[in-house]
Amino acid sequence: MAGVHLKGIVKRYGKGDPVLKGIDLDVEESEFMVLVGPSGCGKSTILRVVSGLEEIDSGEIRIGERVVNDAPPRERDIAMVFQNYALYPHLKVYDNIAFGLRVRKTPKEEIDTLVREAAELLNLGSMLDKLPKELSGGERQRVALGRAIVRKPKAFLFDEPLSNLDAKLRVQMRAEISALHQRLKITTLYVTHDQVEAMTMGERITVLESGEIQQTDVPMGLYERPANRFVGTFIGSPPMNILDARLDGGRLAVGECIFSAGVPDELRNRADSRGFLLGIRPEHLEVHDRPEGLRATIDLIEPMGGESNIYLSTGAGRVVATMPGIAVRKRSDEVFLRFDPAAAHFFDSRSGVRLGEGSVPGRSG
Amino acid sequence: MGSFLRRYAQPYLFIAPAAVVMLLVVLYPFIYNFIIAFSNMSLYHLRNPEFVGLQHFRTIFTEPEIVSVFAKTVIWTVVNVAAHLFLGVGLAILLNQEVKGRGIFRALLILPWAMPQYITALTWRGMFNYQYGAVNLMLRALHLPAVPWQANEYWALAAPIIANIWLGFPFMMIIALGGLQSIPKELYEAAEIDGAGWWFRLRKITLPLLKPVLVPATVLGTIWTFNNLNVIWLVSHYGEPADKTHILVTYVYKAAFHYYRYGYAAAFSVVIFILLLSFVVYFLKATGEKGAAG
Amino acid sequence: MTMKKLLSVISGVFAAFLFLSILAGCGGGGQKGPARIVLWEIMDPEERVILDEFLDAYNASHADVEVSRTNFAPEQLRTQFLTAAMGGGGPDLVFGPADNAGPFSIASVVHPVDEIFPGDYLARFIPLAFDTLAGHIWTLPAQVGNHLCLISNSDIVKTPPATFEEMIRIASDFTADTNGDGSIDRYGLVFESKEPFWLVPFLGSFGGWVMDAEHNPTLDTPAMVKTLRFVSDLRNRYGIMPRECDYQLSDTMFKEGKAAMTINGHWSWRGYDDAGIPIILSSIPKNEKTGLWAVPMISSRGYSVNVNIEGEQLERVKELLKYLVSPEIQVAYATKLSVIPSIREAFDDPAVKKLDRIAASWEQYQRGKRMPVVPEMRAIWDAMRPAFQNVLNGEATPEDAARAMQKDAVRKIREMKG
């Protein structure tokens, strides 16, 4: 086992913009690192350069102590799990799992022990004699996992391994992969576009956009202190509301509403004339009837069971609020929105960069 | 019955014209061939053929040339199909990679296939001329002895085989290329990460996964080659030298359309049909393809 | 009626219509419009150009008939006509070599010419033009000849040889390795030495022939042995012919001026003219050992009438046939393509009489012998071909080859008749 360290990785295809524009990333030994971002952000390319399937244009890749920039995949001793499982359709489960060991000329008895061990771990014992096409999606994914773990590699690379599964299986496999990591403690680089997967599985998460790292942090760190507008809206569901805000005589103003509460000092130091963005998570918005705060009209209510998502129109834009329980209100109701400015995030309206240290967890009254 | 008609009348009506044509052009000649195989129909008994039972079959199996013609048929078929497979799959693998000018190579390699067999065969015949043919000119340029392509019994078989290999590999190449492109590239990537080299990937992934397309293509290729009249007939100029360059079909063709031995040729065709049928049944069983290609 | 029922009725009607139209397609068209006369032929491209001109004129002057022609390879025409006529169909007329008479007469697929034309009409043809089989004439000749002559390149050969000895001497003088690369690039004599048709003139010069009066092969004879030795010597002893000299090679070498003499038929002359080779035609020389001239096979080409044609249509076909062999057309063929006419008026036409090539060809013709038209000939050809080649390649002695020819021919004839 070993850490995976990337320094200034640049990768381009053809003549256009680079796909990776200087990636610095340290995955520590035994760590479960999730790479998350929208499609085309370069997250899969990172996996491919780490695995050696793609070469880099500049930078340095280190696995453990060894710089592997020019090493072919087989010398890097890593294992990869693909989105479409990449099982060999003509080989039985047993042979699929044994494939990598056979390539490495492992003795027969050892292969058998290792394959059965892995199958046991993944609950595949009864399926060893089946062909991939006889298995369900979840089972195939477990075979793919088996193929990865059986070799006891230095690191695991997962490329959106759950996106071909239905929602229920996805939740189950999420837990299984996490549990597997708890047991094996193998350094893992896990790529997904699903922020829920990222939040629930990652020990740390790296958010990518347009070939650049936006932020790397533990899940709650990302949630509570997003480094920029992109991270703020990408992490969390429903996404963070972003409203245009300004300072009015030192007080925070959104739309027609001026809040009595103060704003962080850093903001106050900015020129009053310059606007900025206010980010507020749906659960920090309070919907009530007293004429206090932002006036809003309910557009849509989504009951989720334990809570409800309420979509509203305000003078400053459309927002969504999350309320516990079943909402008693209905469409077109006129309501008011209130929030604790201490729970708000502030971003530069042009660069999207976080302003101030603000944002205290917890609700306000 | 009534409900069956109501349900299926329409589709059957649509199929009917095609079915009638098929009956007329396939089934009828097929059965007719079986019937005249047992008759003495020939130029001299065209209008009054008589039933002669198994006489033709006895003649066929006691023909002095039968062993040699059959052996040459086997050599012709095996060498051709093996070369088609080897060249076709090999070139397909090369063409399936990201190479510069791949489109041009692809077009060039398909060219032999795009030309009419007849023209290709006659061109090759010219190229095999002892004195002035391109093949011997090249051999001489390389300071190799010229080969009597048209005079020697064995070279005369080699010549049409070479021509037919040239003609036939593009088909296998196209089939293999199609098969290769249907193999997800992740399989190779997974294997590469597992440490598999080029040769290992070829043996353990490419070839097994090409099998579902290559098995039917090989069966077809074998039947076509076995029954390929044009190339050997034209390149050897109707079996020269001395009727030594015959495979079963050219032998039959000559009997039927040169000597008007219709009954005999029909009986010979039945023998060829049974040979091919047994081959196909055996081959499909041996390769374990019971319609399960996926 | 529901939509679905309506659809199924419509589709049913449509399917039935398709079905009927296919059946109708098999049955031949209606009888309205001009009567159609179909001709299958095996003519060379230059011959077809002339034929088309005359057919167009005929169609233009006969509003009630429409003649169409289709070109075939000789073997295809023979087989397909046999099959079609046996089935009661086929074209009205076929044009082909005289030896089509063999299979056509045995299978009774053509009218005997002497039964559909009166004797006084046939008397207008030169007697040498007809082949008789089983007491009947099966083909109305449109041209005679089809035989081989000696063709010399007059830039190289001033006077064509009269004897084999002279021929060999002239050829030896010309055979040379001009560029000194060790292989000979100029030969004295080239001819198709893979086809026994080219062997026959020499066989005749040694006094042999391919079959007797009862159509039995006569190949294992001293004459054949001498013939095989002589032709093999041309290549292997005198070295005046290239190895594996086939038609293509002979033609090319002669056209490129790399051969002094060749042996070929009237169909080749135009090609030599086009290639700019000045040619002299002469008879294939005399064998000084026997005192006999070489004996090329001669035959005619002409038209046969499908036996299924009767009544009014037969009259129409006969009228067309008379036109197709008329002196006017034959003179055109003779003057343009140097083929010898079969009808006396054309043969005696001054425009034809004055042609040197026709004269030379006619001289050779008179020294030739009719090619047998019986199907046995085919078995004999096939038996001669490999043995002949084996001798040339040095794989068999002339004695063994002659024996093999005879044995093979006898067997093939027995199998054909079986």
Q: What is the pLDDT of residue B41?
A: 85
Q: What percent of chain B has pLDDT over 90?
A: 32
Helix (H) or strand (E) holding A171: helix A167-184
**pLDDT > 60? residue A49:** yes
The encoded tokens of residue A264 equal 């962080």
Phi-psi region of A31 (alpha: psi -120 to 50; beta: other; left: phi over 0): beta
Q: What is the pLDDT of residue A189?
A: 94
Measured distance CA(C153)–CA(C254) in Å, rounded: 8
If asked whether residues B113 and B210 sit together in one domain, one would say yes
Pairwise CB contact (< 8 Å): B189 & A151: no
Measured distance CA(A68)–CA(B274) in Å, rounded: 62
Q: Which of A169, A198, A230 is where one domain is finished?
A: A230
Interval A39-64 mean pLDDT: 91
Equal fold, C3-146+299-370 vs C149-295+375-417: yes
Domain, as residue range, for A67: 4-230
Measured distance CA(C405)–CA(C359) in Å, rounded: 36
Q: Which of A173, A200, A230 is where one domain is finished?
A: A230
Produce one character per residue of C251-260: b if its CB has 16 or more CB atoms within 10 Å, e if not: bbbbbeebbb
From residue C38, alpha-carbon distances to C35, C103, C196 in Å are 10, 21, 34
If asked whether residues A10 and A110 sit together in one domain, one would say yes
B208 CB neighbours in chain A (<8 A) are 88, 90-91
A26 within a domain of the structure (yes/no):
yes
Distance of CA A34 to the CA centre of its chain: 6
If asked whether residues A116 and A261 sit together in one domain, one would say no
Q: How confident is the model at residue B113 (pLDDT cuts 50, 70, 90)?
A: confident
If asked whether residues B105 and B201 sit together in one domain, one would say yes
Q: Which of B193, B203, B209 to mutate to test the interface with A (most CBs of A within 10 A)?
A: B193
> Quick check: do C and A touch, 3+ CB pairs under 8 A?
no
Q: What is the pLDDT of residue C153?
A: 95
Domain, as residue range, for B236: 64-293
Query: Chains with 3 or more CB pairs closer than 8 angstroms to A?
Result: B
Measured distance CA(A191)–CA(A45) in Å, rounded: 10
CATH of the domain at A64: 3.40.50.300
Q: What is the pLDDT of residue A357?
A: 62
If asked whether residues A199 and A284 sit together in one domain, one would say no
CATH of the domain at A347: 2.40.50.140
For C308-361, give the DSSP string.
T--HHHHHHHHHHHHHHTSHHHHHHHHHHH-PBPSBHHHHT-HHHHT-HHHHHH
The CATH superfamily assigned to C149-295+375-417 is Periplasmic binding protein-like II (3.40.190.10)
* Angstroms from B167 CA to nearest CA on chain C: 23
If asked whether residues B185 and B239 sit together in one domain, one would say yes
If asked whether residues A36 and A102 sit together in one domain, one would say yes
Residue A304's identity, in one-letter code, is M
Answer with the residue of higher pLDDT: B107 or C113: C113
If asked whether residues A158 and A19 sit together in one domain, one would say yes
If asked whether residues A192 and A295 sit together in one domain, one would say no
C379 CB neighbours in chain B (<8 A) are 259
State the angle between helix axes of B66-95 and B153-181 in degrees (0 to 180), rounded to the nearest 10: 40
A362 within a domain of the structure (yes/no):
no
B44 within a domain of the structure (yes/no):
no
Interval B39-61 mean pLDDT: 85
B23 CB neighbours in chain C (<8 A) are none
* Angstroms from C275 CA to nearest CA on chain B: 19
If asked whether residues A189 and A82 sit together in one domain, one would say yes
Q: Which of C11, C15, C107 sits opposite B43 (nearest CB)?
A: C107
Query: Closest chain B residue to C184 measured between Cα atoms?
Result: B131
For A310-357, give the DSSP string.
EEEEETTEEEEEEEES-----TT-EEEEE--GGG-EEE-TTT-BEESS
B44 CB neighbours in chain C (<8 A) are 106, 416-417
Kindly report the average pLDDT of chain A as a whole number.
87
Structure confidence by residue, pLDDT tens digits, B141-195: 898 888 888 878 889 899 999 999 999 899 999 999 999 999 998 899 999 888 8
Residues 6+ apart with CB under 8 A from B112: B120, B166, B167, B169, B170
Interval A143-161 mean pLDDT: 91
Topology of domain C3-146+299-370, CATH: D-Maltodextrin-Binding Protein; domain 2 (3.40.190)
* Angstroms from C248 CA to nearest CA on chain B: 8
B193 CB neighbours in chain A (<8 A) are 51-53, 73-74, 76, 78-80
The encoded tokens of residue B49 equal 């053929």
B45 within a domain of the structure (yes/no):
no
Interval C274-282 mean pLDDT: 94
If asked whether residues B147 and B252 sit together in one domain, one would say yes
If asked whether residues A88 and A173 sit together in one domain, one would say yes
pTM over 0.80: no
**pLDDT > 70? residue A358:** no
Contact C129/C300 with Cβ under 8 angstroms? yes
B213 within a domain of the structure (yes/no):
yes
B111 within a domain of the structure (yes/no):
yes
CATH of the domain at B258: 1.10.3720.10
Instruction: Please name which of C257, C253, C242 lies closest in space to residue C157, comparing C-alpha atoms.
Output: C257
* Angstroms from B95 CA to nearest CA on chain C: 38
Domain count, chain B: 2
Pairwise CB contact (< 8 Å): B46 & C12: no
Q: Give the number of other Cβ atoms within 10 Å of residue A17's Cβ.
A: 10
Pairwise CB contact (< 8 Å): B47 & C246: no
Residues 6+ apart with CB under 8 A from A170: A162, A197
Give first-to-last CA distance, chain A, whole Å.
Answer: 49
Structure confidence by residue, pLDDT tens digits, C374-414: 889 988 998 998 899 889 888 899 999 999 999 999 998 99
| Number of residues that this document lists for chain B | 294
B203 within a domain of the structure (yes/no):
yes
Measured distance CA(A198)–CA(A177) in Å, rounded: 12
B51 within a domain of the structure (yes/no):
no
Query: Which residues on chain B place their C-beta less than 8 Å from a C-beta of chain C?
Result: 9-10, 13-14, 16-17, 20-21, 40, 42-44, 46-47, 126, 129-132, 140, 148, 150-152, 237, 240-244, 257-261, 264
Measured distance CA(A162)–CA(C407) in Å, rounded: 81
Q: How confident is the model at residue A299 (pLDDT cuts 50, 70, 90)?
A: very high
Q: How confident is the model at residue C417 (pLDDT cuts 50, 70, 90)?
A: confident
The residues spanned by each domain of chain C are 3-146+299-370, 149-295+375-417
DSSP symbol at A282: G
Domain count, chain A: 2
Q: What percent of chain C has pLDDT over 70?
A: 92
**pLDDT > 80? residue C22:** no
Measured distance CA(C83)–CA(C97) in Å, rounded: 18
CA-CA-CA-CA torsion sign (B125, B130, B132, B136): positive
Structure confidence by residue, pLDDT tens digits, C143-200: 998 899 999 999 999 999 999 999 999 999 999 988 888 788 899 999 999 889 999 9
Instruction: Please name which of A215, A220, A161 lies closest in space to residue A189, comparing C-alpha atoms.
Output: A161
Q: Which stretch, A150-154, A208-212, B102-106, C291-295, has highest mean pLDDT? A: C291-295
If asked whether residues A279 and A311 sit together in one domain, one would say yes
Report how many Cβ contacts below 8 Å link chain A to chain B. 62
| ipTM score assigned to the predicted complex | 0.80
**pLDDT > 60? residue C21:** no
State the angle between helix axes of C45-61 and C327-337 in degrees (0 to 180), rounded to the nearest 10: 150
Q: Which of A74, A79, A88 sits opposite B187 (nearest CB)?
A: A88
Q: How confident is the model at residue B103 (pLDDT cuts 50, 70, 90)?
A: confident
From residue C288, alpha-carbon distances to A314, C161, C199, C285, C291 in Å are 124, 12, 17, 9, 5
Residue C33's identity, in one-letter code, is G
If asked whether residues B27 and B107 sit together in one domain, one would say no
Q: What is the pLDDT of residue B241?
A: 72
Q: How confident is the model at residue C330 (pLDDT cuts 50, 70, 90)?
A: very high
Q: What is the pLDDT of residue A363?
A: 32
If asked whether residues A164 and A257 sit together in one domain, one would say no
